[in-house]
Structure 1
Amino acid sequence: MAIHNFLPGLLITLLATLVAIVFSSDDSTNSQNMYPFTCSDSEDIRICNASLYHTNYDGLKKEQLASIYGVSPSQIISISSASRQDYLVTVPCSCKNISGTIGYFYDAIHNVSQGEMFFNVSAQIFNGQAWWVEDEARLFNPGYNFSMHLLCGCTRIKSQIVVTYTVQLHDTLSDISSRLSSTVGGIQSMNINLIKNPSSINVDWVLFVPMGSIPASRKGSGGRKTWIIIISILSALTALSIITLVILLLRRNGCRQNSEEDSKPVSKSMSTNRAFSLQNLYKESNEDGTAFESEKPVIFSIEEIEEATKNFDKTKKIGEGGYGCVYHGLLRGQEVAVKKMRSNKSHEFFAELKVLCKIHHINVVELLGYAGGDDHFYLTYEYVRNGSLSDHLHDPFLKDFGLAKLVERTSDEDLIATRLVGTPGYLPPESVKELQVTSKTDVFAFGVVLAELITGQRAISRDNGESNKMKSLITVVYKIFEDQDPETALADVIDKNLRNSYPMEDVYKMAEIADWCLSEEATNRPEMREVVQKLSMIVMSSVEWEASLGGSSQIFSGVFNGR
């Protein structure tokens, strides 16, 4: 039985999905992983010496880091951390205006290599401390010397050194403060993302740490002599061991180099700045085939993508849209849908990555990974065999179309566009007239989706009265509440396939929410949290209605089974 036969069941699924997206969206806008250290022309100092903490998972030497950051090796200080050697890189930090964002930055010049993308370079080379500027994204091309705007900080206290630090797995504020001779209170007062919950930090957050003194240093000649003695004793004790192990180490390094030459760097995560852990993920995925069990997207090589789609064979093509084509493929034993986008669509590529890296929900298509190169971007999704909500509402016989909810699709026969984003029929007046896009733009589009659920009609369809004209579903909703008897007007347009398996009072409330979301003035539209609250009440009312009929919960059975 088609899913649109049961409005309450659809509503529960839609509500669960909406809750996940709303809260994920809040995280993406209010809990960003980095905030520039702000400054002003009149009050703050213009330039100072600051430090960037480099978590050295790759085992780089001082000379290599000096070349990467564009500084002298003498400006790099070693810091021992667990089993690795990290570094503090001293840089000239200055107050700048970067495309409207005023803050303290240090620009490191990076020569872009073939296949590199901004977020890869930021995560793998610069510990995720680079500020992404949308206006400059088009310049990130092979051979170009690109300015990586690295976050840094200055204070009015000239002797105070501010360290830019990227939070690692298992880090706590106490650990960070101890490592950099700081205090927990000092870190909390310097970071805007700690205001709401001072004791909570997330992996990949970029924090500013007021360093009290250079770690691992000692004042006075007595302290230095003590360290010299300790180091000498340790060196003597370990000399024999080093000699006996040198042959084994050389053999091991030789095997590792061969392995690295044969392997492909396909497991750097878009949503993390820890290259070491991602490289481990790649090795594990090659060994046990569990790459897709991770919630973090994986970087695939171009060769893997081409092999999965049989070099983008035409028979593998399952959709085409304004941003590119979608192909069906088999990647590491799993069916996938690969979206091939032109390189001039970098804005859309990064926007899609940002959203889908944040959302993990049973009713939202899952992003598995991505790739870049050969003048194209590639997004790899799970293959959604059962289609999308739109398919079940308007194409009940469609059973084998993957990634329907992300593919722009048009029919020459009926001239109806079915792609949600940017499609006439889903756009509010301010987007059409003034090209404004805000969170209330999404609220408007959601109102159209609610109207589709109620009526079973498309956002734009042919007018039955005049076949040469198109009719907007938005107008249908407006007319319902302009009628003297809106309940009767609503009953006339309710999808007949629902077969009266609903309480009319709840459908009317749902239509009111749709009308509210479709307000012409953006300021009159609700917040999505308000929508979730009202839909939750409708769901509870529907459950009570079914129970009053002595039903056996058939309406709600199987709602959450499958996708």
Structure 2
Amino acid sequence: MCSPYFVNMNPFVSFVIWISLLSSFHSFHASPMQCKVSLNESCPASLYYYVPNTMRSLDETASLFNVDNDAVKRTIDGFLIMINCSCLAEHRFFTWHMDYKVQKGDTWNSISSKFGFFVVVAMSEKVLIPSVIVTLDVLCGCSNNADMVTYKVQNGDTVFTICSRFKANETKTVLLNGLDNPDSIHERDILFIPTPAGFNNLTSIDYHNQEFEESMVSSIGSDKATVLPYNEIREATSNFSRSLIIGQGSYGLVYLGKLRGTDVAIKQMKDTNSKEFLSELNILCKVHHINLIELIGYAAGGESLFLVYEFAQNGALSNHLHNPALRGHKPLPWTTRVQIALDAAKGLEYIHEHTKPYYVHRDIKPSNILLDSNFHAKIADFGLVKLSEQSPDAGGAAASRIVGTFGYLAPEYVRDGHVTAKSDVYSFGVVLMELLTGQPALSKDASPENEKLSEHRSVVQYMLSALNDSQDSFDELAKCIDPNLTSYDKDSLYEMALLSKDCVDDNWKRRPDMSRVALRLSHILSSSREWEEL
């Protein structure tokens, strides 16, 4: 969580690269720090500089900003650059003057790009002559109450994750920036972040700092995620023994660990994946539900970031559906499958309808549904979650890029990037079909004419072809059912198959919401238990 305290410090500054002339403010949120008689006329400052595209060295960065190497501090995804901010004569805002030597082929846009697009070009009519020195005004600010960081919002940022990085007070940050809705910040917005610990103590930016590793809560039993020291993570995983690896995702390995006498799952991510790390940390610190995996703590060290979760003893649902015998598992009974479906539906219903803002998971699949010792399901892996300021039934917005797993992606999402809670409903419908058939979302199906050639078969098309048979749909459906599922309630199974069909409707508006899905599954579970007792 963002720090609940706010400490008076020596006057400090905020920063971000701008080429003065503020006519570009209309393109994104930015409120420049105005010169005031009550503030000092100058103060130390710093730039939080994201490295654009290709990684720069510390020497290259110091040269680019025309500062000494000692004024540059490396962070997990860029550099912190010390400058001096001042309120010059005839200037309404605090600025830092930076000299830049024009290079051959430079344009104002390419100069902006060199500085990670912190630079807002508003003097494009001025001709750039190679080897000539031009002065760039960098917008900054001073305050008598706190050290401040001027920060450019990156894709995936929230006020919470930004405050977490800088150990800042979330409420004071919102007030300082005049944010009517703190959930509506956008990429390239400019925010001033008041840092209570002072500029030299921003250890949440430098995750390898010893002070960060020691700033931990003594007990895991807390409603808030605990900051854990790196050496505990190493000990918990026997120095990252490969024998303790229990999973592998798109962002790294997952280890089984023993932390303070408790079994835990530890996800290791490269420190270059800081956005995904902070996104998942942000979500799991805010949402708490019995059917969502619980975050215990987090840590950093050794060029890695770590998220520590409760351990799900029976692993991922996918291991119990797809060739379970090869993984040493018994087939899941019918009633257990329905219970798992209902648990997962309740977890999705919670993030879709009972949180604000609402969340869309965007990667619902059996490998992201974990099973505890009693085979109750918990949704995991929130690295791709997208928040929505609109209600779950609203039309949503277009995503800038398609993420998720093929076979589970809703057609409107693939077609035009249209993201709503109904995208998750489609993915959940695919999971229901996998529970019924035991087949993965996509599988290679050998052609009868030439077994060497194969194509992907979709479980959705496989199931829909059976359910759309007008003659005797259940007879056709029975041919699709998991052969490991030798006993089931015929009526309940048919109802679940029809529900799965509704969830994968091509028209997202016709798909049921997750509260309706959960209600239908609860009725199916009741019927299945009555059948089981006969």
For CA contacts below 8 A with separation 6 or more, give which structure has more relative contact order.
Answer: 1
Structure with more strand by fraction: 2
TM-score by length of 1: 0.47
Structure with more helix by fraction: 1
Greater Cα radius of gyration, structure 1 or 2: 1
